Amino acid sequence: MEALERRIDALRAEIRRSVVARDTARTKGLRAELRIAEQEWEQAISDLAEEAGDPPPAAAGRSSAGSLLPVREQVHHALTLLSVPAAPKLVAEVHAAFFGAAAAGGLAAGKLTHLRRDEKRSFGTAPYARPYYLCAALTAEHLAPARGLVAVSTWPLERRIVGPLSPRVDFLTAAVRVAERAGTVPAGSSTLARLVWRFASNIPGALDIAGRPDTVDPVTVIRAAEAERVVHADADRAHRAAAAERARRQLDQVDQLFGNTLRTLPGKVTRRGGAVSRGNPTVQEKTA
Amino acid sequence: MSTLTALARAEAVAVGQAQRITTVRHLHVADRPLVFIPLSMAGEANAPLAALVGTVPDDPRLLVVPQPRNRDQRFGFAAELAEVLLPYLDSFRGVTEAVAANRGKEVRYRYVDAPQVLVPNSAGIGFVRMFGRSTRFRRTDGDYPVQPSVPLLGQWLTFLADRAEHPGSGMLLAMTEALGLHWATGQSALEDAHLAALLAWIDPADGLSGADAAVVAEDPLRWPPAGPATDPTFDNEMLAPAMAAYQEAVGSGDEVRRSRARGVLEEAVRSQLGPTWELMWRGVSLLRELPVGSRVPGRWAEDRDVFSTFTLYVDGGGYPQPRRDGAVNAAQRLHRLERALQSYAVQRAYDDPLVMADHRLTGEAFVGEVTLADAHRIDDSGKRRVLRPRIQVTTGDVVLVTAGAVLHSPSRPGQKARVVFVTPDPASGRTDVVLELSGGLGRSLSPAPGSVPEVGDRLCYTTLSDSFMPPGEFPSREETPWTHGGPPKAYEEPVEPSVDDAREEWS
Amino acid sequence: MTSISMGTSRTTAERLATIRGGAKPKRHNARTIAALTRNPGCARRAVLDTAGVDKQRLAAYIDFPARFGQSGFAIARGNAFEAQVKASGAAELVKLLRERLGLPIPEVAYDDLETVTGREKETAEVRYARSRALLLRAAAGEDGAGTLFDHPLLGLDVAGQRVYLEPDLIAFQHEGRFHVVEIKSFAVVDGQADPGKVSAAAIQSAVYVLAMRQMLAEAGHDPEIVAHDVVLVCPRDFSNQPTAVLVDVRKQLAVLRRQLGRMTKVEEMLAVLPPNLCFDLAPDADGVPTRAPEALVDALQTVDARYAPDCLSVCELAYFCRAEARGCTAALGTSAREELGGIERVETALGLAKGELTPADDQAEAATLLRNAARLRAEVLVAAAGAAG
């Protein structure tokens, strides 16, 4: 046991040296050795524990992993509430605020990336077999999947398209939706109050003088968010509508949901081999 | 850096060991200092990760924050630190002594001893300041209540960090700076900020040159950094897995697993703190071996004064120090620091011929032998006959003072020496300086015995003066001119922390 | 942060490839460029950096490993804070810009330049082209040409070589003026931040300002429309809430321009070096570089270094150069070197101080001072030892 511990320490020290030396191959090998040593140690300690008559320390703590299905539902709930494409972090926060903090841990951002890939595969095998899919938001410019956003397949394309003004408009829309819901919840939780407050603090006129989470008034937040949304709404709507029209014409079903990543769209500039010289770009960017 | 110090560095290179740049110690070293080695979490604003703290070399107390981003755990750490620090501070509040104040018209009392906190380096002092800032406004009621000891700890840490800026104060010291004040290594000042490397030069391991010992000491695997920043590979390879395992163990609800995981985490941070703990105490013994300078107790008395005053302030329920100083306070503070800096520099030179040698080299001081003395010379040019002895000092030092300049001798405080003639002799390279003495001669027209140097005496004369500097005058805070922002704003004055102060968001 | 290096003439490029030994060039970023300006007189560093040699790997292989590396905690915190400020169309940043720079309500357009087509691996050319197109369109003042540009890819000429940089930043345009926004996760507590970190952020931002100005100038726009005030966004106090401060980087720009301009053109540096100079770290089947460490040390010694203690915090090879500089006064720091009269070697300074060496003409003054210093030091130490004994 002690020999094992000494070995683990020595391996860790070696790893630290090889990391500094940027010796990836060696680091990889050492890490593998370390993992084995650590497993042996774990085994040894639980053997010891069993000898001592303690309950085996495994098994517990794995329950949170669960299947992806409930997570999918959770995301759908939160997105439906927001009604706009959102980043995984916001989805998780909304879920925690409205549906209980317990689930927050289950909505790790990394998991959502997996989820989207999973949804795409599922749609590819049996299109529309599920009532909804968690899919991508599309960039207005290239109809490519927008970085870091999740959307729902049942939404109209216009809602899933993001142009330059859309992040702000969607932010304001989400603020309105969250504040509306917060107004209907009787004794608002502090997590919910903080969520509304976080939206409000970035919208002009949405906070009172105290500016604290416990004094946020949902009605004021809604009024302020609507006031700003009106400023951007028309331009954004037009932009999205045009892009959505283009998407319907140019993309197949899968790409309409998950974005165009595989080929270059007709009417767009070919990028492959488009070397950039010092002064003049040979690539011309046309924006829709 | 002075030429003498640079020369000492050069000698250190040649000899392979650090060289003394003082003949005495210019710092007070307490009988019972508190050594405090904080570690913080990378990337966070002063989030404590762990600390080793204590007053006895073989009994350090380890404080660990298993999840430094957790607000409650941070304040838990603060409460634990308070459990160590506050009783330590209180332990000096026993015996007092009476001191004459206001030109003897009043008497005030000060404690006969005071606390001394030692951290490894100047970043450690920065940690103390920031941790003081983050705890002194906390409240014991409201949204995020903390234990009453937490804001109190904050006030004291802030007090200590302020003292650390005061030249000559010994209440909060960085070990690297304390050692660097007395030794010159054969490396750069930048490298001296590494405690292990610095000590490797001062006290190299057997058979190694300082340079080789320092190279060994720089290996973070053998000598972990003295904090508060940890070694990145430690973070990535040791700490992160240990923290993750602890989180998981907490989630499992299995107490055996949790305590085992905590044990692993504690071992990990202890491995980073333990070596520095040893170095700190080695540093303390090295400093103790130096003979103490004669003006050090006087400066420590000032520390004791300030400590005594601040205990009264805290006892009286004084509010935490403001976030920032108002204009008048800031100017006063700056003035105080400047005076302290000047007086500290002079005192060190007076206490230490090796420090004085810096001034001799630049011509601000000279040491020579008295070659002529007229102890009974009377000046009758004025209305009243006065005793004005003259002496001639012959020196091989560079003399840049000119006739009319007023000089002082460290061994004869209270006596002034006005330069009458300066006569260099290019042939011998020596200079004769004729000085006229006044003060400290007794009351009659013949000098008191021993008050005038005799032929053959060796003396140092310098332009540096240790005499009292009058404090500057400043407007009252209410009268701060608008050019300086007007009267102080709320955050520039000590006030009761508001609910918002206490609520201050934490990452 | 990623970037690619390209350009320069064919022969120079071949030469650099030889020096690199066929490995992929290490990429520059604003931090490495900012660091370049710290010691522009060092030929060793200039050659290795221009060739894109992996100095960290090289240093470790010759047994002088650098102590660089970033804590995963710091990286995670930095990324999380950046993501937070940029979330929801950079909602938090928009608020700060409205408050600090009077950005009008309608100005919220946000263009993500990190990906163009959503594909996993996009060439830098594609990204540079799009960044350039969008930024130039905004510079031309076209209607609806955008306000916030996240992760633009920029280019800069360094030592005669074009380097592409990807700032983790948002370039922000308002009334025809661009500002560089730099998001950093160190805290601003009571309006004050770690001066070292602020100045590092300032010099990095200055690199971006310079690169944006170069891009605009090449396209015939007035480069001065990129403001010299950069917006530094940091967490406030101990919270996660962002705060913005304007940092004037004029001084840093001047330093950068001067140092970049002064950096000897790489061709000139290469001309005086052995034609077969090479720092190949190509590994054999066991992952060990095929060349012996001694051969690499020999190669390094053919290129002059200018070591200073500052190098330890910026250059991966510093520990090697420090060992090489043992016995040099420069290794003791600039101020020590100056106090020793600029004498290069420690033993020379000591020899002059003890009067064992006869000073050269230009050393006369220094020698007098050193002799005086040595006399004083010896006198006091002897007296002190006598008193103690």
Domain match, B242 and B95 both? yes
**Residue spans of chain A under pLDDT 50:** 55-69, 102-106, 264-288
d(CA A142, CA C119): 11
For chain B, positions 351-380, list CB contacts with chain C under 8 A.
353-354, 357, 360-361
Residue C223 and residue C82 share a domain: yes
Does B349 fall in a domain?
no
Residue B132 lies in a domain: yes
In this structure, the answer to whether residues C78 and C221 fall within a common structural domain is yes
Smallest Cβ–Cβ distance between B254 and the set A13, A20, A60 belongs to A60
By residue range, what is the domain housing residue A201?
Answer: 68-258
Q: Cβ(B397)–Cβ(B373) under 8 Å? A: no
Same domain, C237 and C340: no
Q: A40 and A82: one domain?
A: no
Query: Both C225 and C352 in a single domain?
Result: no
**pLDDT at residue number B346:** 93
Instruction: Report if residue B227 sits inside a domain.
Output: yes
**Inter-chain touch B10–C312, beta carbons under 8 Å:** no
Residue of A nearest to C220 (CA): A279
Per-residue pLDDT band for C273 (boundaries 50, 70, 90) equals confident
Query: Cβ contact (<8 Å) for C125 and A261?
Result: no
Burial zone of B414 (CB within 10 Å; 0-12 exposed, 13-18 middle, 19+ buried): exposed
Gap from B36 CA to chain C (nearest CA, Å): 22
Q: Helix, strand or coil for residue B390? A: strand
Q: Are B258 and B391 members of one domain?
A: no
Q: Does a structural domain hold residue A185?
A: yes
* Pair (C205, C339) in one structural domain: no
Asked, for residue A275, whether it belongs to a domain, the answer is no
Task: Tell me if A15 and B251 make a contact (CB, 8 A cut-off).
Answer: no
Question: What pLDDT is attached to residue C279?
Answer: 86
Tally: H helices and E strands in chain B? 15, 17
List CB contacts (< 8 A) between A275 and chain C.
Answer: 125
Any domain includes C267: no
All residues of chain C having their beta carbon less than 8 Å from the beta carbon of residue B211 are 326
Mean pLDDT of all residues in chain B? Answer: 90
> Does A120 share its domain with A222?
yes
Strand partners, C154: C165
List residues bridging with B368 in a β-sheet: B395, B459
Paired tokens of B354: 């090796």
Question: Which of C331, C372, C388 has the CB atom closest to B188's CB atom?
Answer: C331
Pick from B133, B215, B240: which is nearest to C189 by CB?
A: B133
Domain range spanning residue C353?
A: 330-388
Whether the CB-CB separation of B158 and C190 falls below 8 Å is answered with no
For residues B252 and B374, state if they share a domain: no
Verify whether the Cβ–Cβ distance C72 to B236 is below 8 Å: yes
Identify the domain boundary among C217, C248, C279: C248
C143 burial (CB, 10 Å; 0-12 / 13-18 / 19+) is: exposed
- Going by pLDDT thresholds of 50, 70 and 90, the confidence category of residue B188 is very high
Q: Does A21 touch chain C (CB under 8 A)?
A: yes
Q: Which residues pair with B422 in a beta bridge?
A: B433
Selected for mutation to probe chain A from B254, B267, B501 (highest A CB count within 10 Å) is B254
Query: For residue C1, what pLDDT is reported?
Result: 36
Domain count for chain B: 2
CB < 8 Å to B189, chain C: 309, 333, 335-336
In this complex, which of C72, C189, C333 lies closest to B190 when CB atoms are compared? C333
Over residues A223-236, the pLDDT tens digits come to 999 999 999 999 99
**Which of B345-354, C28-37, C253-262 comes out lowest in average pLDDT?**
C28-37
A16 → closest Cβ in B221, B248, B260: B221
Q: Are residues B179 and B71 in the same domain?
A: yes
User: Is residue B111 scored above 80 in pLDDT?
Assistant: yes
- Lowest mean pLDDT segment, chosen from A116-130, B165-179, B262-276, B369-383: A116-130
Contact B186 C332 (CB under 8 A): yes
Number of A to B CB contacts under 8 A, please give it: 37
Q: What is the tally of structural domains in chain C? A: 2
Pair A192, A138 in one domain: yes
Sort out which chain C residues have CB atoms less than 8 A from B2's CB and list them: 339
> Would you say residue B79 has pLDDT above 70?
yes
Digit-coded pLDDT (tens) for C319-353:
999 999 999 999 999 999 999 999 999 999 999 99
Domain co-membership, A227 together with A252 = yes
Nearest Cα neighbor of C51 from C76, C26, C78 is: C26
Q: Is C237 in Cβ contact with B235 (below 8 Å)?
A: no
3-state DSSP assignment of residue B211: helix
Query: Does A198 map to a domain?
Result: yes
Residue B241: closest C-alpha in chain C: C72
Is the Cβ pair A167, C105 closer than 8 Å?
Answer: no
Higher pLDDT: B121 or A91? It is B121
Structural domain count, chain A: 2
C380 → closest Cβ in B186, B230, B353: B353
Same domain, C221 and C342: no
B138 and B50 belong to one structural domain:
yes
Count CA atoms closer than 13 A to B428's CA, side-chain side: 10
Query: Same domain, yes or no, for B154 and B85?
Result: yes
pLDDT of residue A68: 41
Q: Do A219 and A108 belong to one domain?
A: yes
Beta strand B430-438 with B390-395: parallel, antiparallel or unpaired? antiparallel
Distance from CA of C147 to the nearest CA of A (A): 9
Cis peptide before B228 (omega within 30 of 0): yes
Instruction: Please state whether beta strands C148-150 and C110-112 pair in parallel, antiparallel, or not at all (unpaired).
Output: parallel
Pairwise CB contact (< 8 Å): B3 & C373: yes
Structure tokens at A84: 């706009």
- Examine the domain organization and report whether B41 and B165 are in the same domain: yes
**Same domain assignment for residues B308 and B403:** no
Where a domain ends, among C225, C248, C271? C248
CA A232/CA C89 separation, integer angstroms:
13
Any domain includes B230:
yes
Q: Distance from CA of residue B107 to its chain's centroid?
A: 28
In a domain, B334, yes or no: no
Domain boundary among C248, C268, C301: C248
Per-residue H/E/C for chain C: CCCCEECCCHHHHHHHHHHHCCCCCCCCCHHHHHHHCCCCCCHHHHHHHHHCCCHHHHHHHCCCCCCCCCCHHHHHHHHHHHHHHHHHHHHHHHHHHHHHHCCCCCCCCEEECCCCCCCCCCCHHHHHHHHHHHHHHHHCCCCCCCCEEECCCEEEEECCEEEEECCCEEEEEECCEEEEEEECCCCEECCECCHHHHHHHHHHHHHHHHHHHHHHHHCCCCHHHECCEEEEEEEECCCCCEEEEEEECHHHHHHHHHHHHHCCCHHHHHHCCCCCCCCCCCECCCCCECCCHHHHHHHHHCCCCCCCHHHHHCCCCHHHHHHHCCCEHHHHCHHHHHHCCCCCEHHHHHHHHCCCCCCCHHHHHHHHHHHHHHHHHHHHHHHHHHHHC
Which chain B residue has its CA at the smallest distance from A16's CA?
A: B233
Phi and psi of B173, rounded to 5°?
-125, 145
Touching check for A15 and chain B: CB below 8 Å?
Answer: yes
Please tell me whether residues B364 and B311 are part of one structural domain. Answer: no
| Domain-located, residue B12 | no
Residue B504 inside a domain? The answer is: no
Residues A45, A145, single domain; the answer is no
Residue whose C-alpha is closest to residue B300's, from B1, B33, B10, B13: B33
Q: What is the DSSP string of chain A?
A: -HHHHHHHHHHHHHHHHHHHTT-HHHHHHHHHHHHHHHHHHHHHHHHHHHHTTPPPS-STT-TTT--HHHHHHHHHHHHHHH-S-B-HHHHHHHHHHHH-GGGGGG--HHHHHHHHHHHHHHHHHSTT-SS--EE--EETTT-PBPTT-BEETTS-HHHHEE-TTHHHHHHHHHHHHHHHHHHHSSS--HHHHHHHHHHHTTSTT-S-SS--GGG--HHHHHHHHHHHHHHHHHHHHHHHHHHHHHHHHH--HHHHHH---SSPPTTS---TT-PPPSSS-SPPP---
So what's the pLDDT on residue A288? 32
Q: A264 lies in a domain?
A: no
Q: How far does the CA of residue A232 sit from the closest CA of chain C (Å)? A: 6
Nearest by CB to B361, which of C327, C337, C372? C372
- Give me C9's structure tokens: 């003439």
Asked if residue C150 belongs to a domain, the reply is yes
For residue B418, the domain's CATH number is 2.40.30
Neighbours of chain B (3+ CB pairs under 8 A): A, C
Smallest Cβ–Cβ distance between A49 and the set B220, B231, B256 belongs to: B256
Q: Which two tokens stand for residue B27?
A: 């710092």
What range defines the domain where residue B311 resides? 21-317
Rounded Cα distance between C44 and C305, Å, is 5
- Distance CA(C180)–CA(C211), nearest Å, equals 11
Residues in A 243-282 with any Cβ partner in C closer than 8 A? 259-261, 264, 271, 274-276, 278-279, 281
- C290 — phi, psi (to 5°)? -75, -30
Task: Give the model's pLDDT for residue A267.
Answer: 39
Shortest Cα–Cα distance, A16 to chain B (Å) = 5
- Of B1, B75, B216, which to mutate for an interface test with C (greatest number of C Cβ within 10 Å)? B1
Angle at A153 between CA A148 and CA A157, to 5 degrees: 85
Which of B234, B238, B251 lies at the smallest CB-CB distance from A61? B251
Query: Looking at the partner chain, which of C75, C335, C384 has a beta carbon nearest the beta carbon of B23?
Result: C384
In 3D space, the residue among C184, C189, C186 whose CA is nearest the CA of residue C237 turns out to be C189
Q: Nearest C-alpha of chain A: how many angstroms from B261?
A: 12
Minimal C-alpha gap between B59 and chain C (Å): 30
Domain contains C283: no
Cα within 13 Å of Cα(B191), Cβ side: 29
CA geometry: angle at B481 spanning B480 and B486, to 5°?
A: 65
Q: Do A142 and C116 touch (CB under 8 A)?
A: yes
User: What's the average model confidence in pLDDT over C19-23?
Assistant: 78
| 3-class secondary structure per residue, B275-337 | HHHHHHHHHHHHHHHCCECCCHHHHHHHHHHHHHHHHHHHHCCCCCCCCCCCHHHHHHHHHHH
Q: Is residue A286 part of a domain?
A: no
Residue numbers in B near C349 (CB within 8 A): 7, 10
The pLDDT, as a whole number, for residue B495 is: 66
Q: Is residue A285 part of a domain?
A: no
Claim to verify: residue A33 and residue A154 sit in the same structural domain: no
Contact B234 A64 (CB under 8 A): no
Q: Which residues contact C170 (CB under 8 A, 6 or more apart)?
A: C86, C90, C93, C148, C149, C150, C151, C181, C183
Residue B45, H or E segment = none
Which residues from A are below 8 Å from C144, CB to CB?
A: 164, 235
- Residues B44, B165, single domain; the answer is yes
Query: Which pair of structure tokens corresponds to residue B68?
Result: 């430094």
B435 three-state secondary structure:
strand
Confidence of residue B190 (pLDDT cuts 50, 70, 90): very high
Check residue B404 and report its DSSP letter.
T
Q: Are B17 and B268 in contact (CB under 8 A)?
A: no
Q: Average pLDDT, stretch B151-167? A: 96
How do C169-174 and C177-183 pair as beta strands? antiparallel
Q: What is the identity of the amino acid at C310? A: D
pLDDT at A69: 42
The two tokens of residue B93 are: 């509040």
**Whole-number average pLDDT of chain C:** 85
Residue in B closest to C378 by C-alpha: B354
E runs forming strands in B321-455? 365-374, 378-379, 386-387, 390-395, 406-408, 416-425, 430-438
User: What pLDDT digit, counting tens, does each position of C174-232 carry?
Assistant: 777 899 999 999 999 988 899 989 998 999 999 999 999 988 998 899 999 999 999 99
Asked, for residue A56, whether it belongs to a domain, the answer is no
Residues of C in contact with B44 (CB under 8 A): 73, 77
State both tokens at A83.
Answer: 């009604």
B237–A54 CB contact, under 8 Å: no
Q: What is the dihedral of CA A276, A282, A285, A286, to 10 degrees?
A: 180
Query: Does the beta-carbon distance from C118 to A279 stay under 8 Å?
Result: no
Q: What is the pLDDT of residues C97-134, one digit of tens each?
A: 998 888 888 888 888 887 776 666 667 777 888 888 88
Given CB atoms, is C164 within the 8 Å cutoff of chain A? no
- Same structural domain, B280 and B370: no
Residues pairing with B394 in the sheet: B369, B432
Domain co-membership, B303 together with B373: no
CB-CB under 8 Å, B238 with A212: no
CB proximity B46 to C under 8 Å:
yes
Tokens encoding B500: 């918002």
CA distance C387 to B22: 14
* Cβ contacts of C221 within 8 Å, gap of 6 or more: C136, C139, C140
Residue A151 lies in a domain: yes
Which residue of chain A is at minimal alpha-carbon distance from C128?
Answer: A276
Question: What confidence score (pLDDT) does residue C128 get?
Answer: 84
Amino acid at C356: E
